[in-house]
Amino acid sequence: MRLLRVNLILFEPAELARPLPRTDPRARHILEVLRRQSGGTFDAGQVNGPRGKATLGAIDPAGLHLTFAWGPPPAPPDPITLLVGLPRPQTARDILRDATTLGVSALHFVRTEKTEASYAQSTLWTSGEWRRHLWTGAEQAFDTRIPEVTSGRRLADVLATLPAASARLALDHYESPSPLSGYTGAAATPHVLALGGERGWSGPDRDALRQGGFQLVHLGPRILRTETAVVAALTLLRARLGLM
């Protein structure tokens, strides 16, 4: 398997005091891609903690012995929650990675009326694989902050848990009266951005969103793939909020 270069190598706090096993993909990356030898340094981060520099010490059968020098803690994540109708697993993988790269505080993959029930049973969710895609997105962004993620809950259940003071926007190609590009809001206000799954929202879904305080908006006349719409909508919203 070809190893791709990443911008930051992440570690859980519990890993810092023990050798990194030679079989760990991060060890392979340090040795084979970064080509570090004893005494070499590279950019490292603690999950949801500070960034800093790691120094490679001894390399032996137990693994790579690392020491760390950390900088200040990170700023709080940007107050954007992404709510997405549960898509097919490959689409969800792309969204997990790219939404983390762009920056969100939470990601909720919800069951809607049009959700294919089998998607929730994918090994992406049952095996914990989804966490790896968050790490990939954070490492690409040179960031340590990992969003909260839930999957498989009903739309109505998630709507009931959203912050009461949040501004709420839902993408809808068919009934939205205004473009997302014209939205104005304050960066300090928590925002929730909702997108339907690959088959869009149903009528009852739209009713639930409207009753939940969501304003329907659109991205223009072209119909986009779910993963493309997520990137476009997050980019637009972040730009409108002055977060770019």
pLDDT for 53 equals 98
Instruction: Answer yes or no: do 53 and 104 share one domain.
Output: no
13 within domain boundaries:
yes
Angle, CA 126 vertex, CA 125 and CA 130 arms, to 5°: 35
145 plus 36 within the same structural domain: no
Give the other-Cβ count within 10 Å of 180's Cβ.
20
| Judgement on whether residues 219 and 103 belong to the same structural domain of the protein | yes
pLDDT tops 50 at residue 1: no
| Same domain (yes/no): 66, 86 | no
Q: Are residues 120 and 218 in the same domain?
A: yes
Average pLDDT over the chain reads 94
pTM higher than 0.85, yes or no? yes
Do 16 and 49 reside in the same domain of the chain? yes
Q: What is the largest CA-CA distance in the chain?
A: 63
Query: Which pLDDT tens digit goes with each residue over 68-127?
Result: 999 999 999 999 999 999 999 999 999 999 999 999 999 999 999 888 989 999 999 999
User: If we measure between CA atoms, which residue out of 194, 186, 191 comes closest to residue 165?
Assistant: 191
For residue 231, what pLDDT is reported?
Answer: 97
Q: What is the CATH number of the domain that holds 63?
A: 2.40.240.20
Element (H, E) at 92: helix 89-102
Helix, strand and coil in the chain, % to nearest 5: 30, 25, 40
Residues 123 and 207 reside in one and the same domain: yes
Tokens of 212: 């939940």
Count of domains for the chain = 2
Instruction: Flag whether 2 is in a domain.
Output: no
Tell me the pLDDT band of 186, cut-offs 50, 70 and 90. Answer: confident
Q: How confident is the model at residue 185 (pLDDT cuts 50, 70, 90)?
A: confident
Q: Is 45 helix (H, G, I), strand (E, B) or coil?
A: strand
Q: Domain for residue 124, yes or no? A: yes
The 3-state DSSP class for residue 11 equals: strand
Residue 23 in any domain: the answer is yes
Count of Cβ atoms closer than 10 Å to residue 101 Cβ: 19
| Domain region containing 21 | 9-70
Q: Is residue 1 part of a domain?
A: no
CATH number for 194 = 3.40.1280.10
